[in-house]
Amino acid sequence: MQLVGANLTNSKKLSKNLIADIRIEGRLQRTGDARSQISLDPYARRPTFAFNLEVKNVPLVKLNDFAKAYGGFTFKDGALKLAMEASAENGRYQGYVEPVFDHMAIFSEKSAENPATFVWEAILGALTEIVRNYPKDRFGTKVPFAGTFEHPQPDIFATIGNAFRNAFVQAFEGKLENWKKLPPVEQEKKQ
């Protein structure tokens, strides 16, 4: 992992722009590539930041502990790409997460030992086959989110609609739309 932080200061003499910028690059699960950029105003009264994350080529079998603990299933094959953008200002946040699963296979031979797991994985496998983009052998969606920190508002219908959009209209790529960055803080606001 490589981490670079810039402009980590609270001195107006050292920097006119008090926005901190942090960039991280590394290997996820020792196989996939990840990069992230965070711009934040640590002196804002309410959370103020712009966050970008892009993950590529993570073998899904490396995520089996997580999938088993939170979803009750395991992956047999495939790779994960993920893009995420989020920003916050004045107590409100917005963004999206775009997970993309290439060549995903859920159904595992080990699951046959437990009838409940066998049935659950068969259902998940069938659903992901139905809403898969076959030309790219890809299952994906885009999960938009927005709201206030006090009252989050997930958009479940948009997430489901995006899964069908990936399957039948255009496959998601798991890449960031654009790298967001906070604008410089004006000196008058900080005084």
Question: pLDDT averaged over consecutive 10-residue blocks of the chain (191 residues)?
Answer: 79 71 86 89 85 92 87 87 91 90 80 75 78 85 88 79 81 74 47 39
Instruction: Tell me the two tokens of residue 101.
Output: 């699963």
Nearest to 171 by CA among 145, 143, 141: 141
- What tokens does 156 get? 């479940």
Q: Are 63 and 80 in contact (CB under 8 A)?
A: yes
Longest dimension (CA), the chain: 67
- The reported pTM is 0.74
Question: Which of the 8 DSSP states describes residue 186?
Answer: P
Q: CB–CB of 148/46 below 8 Å?
A: no
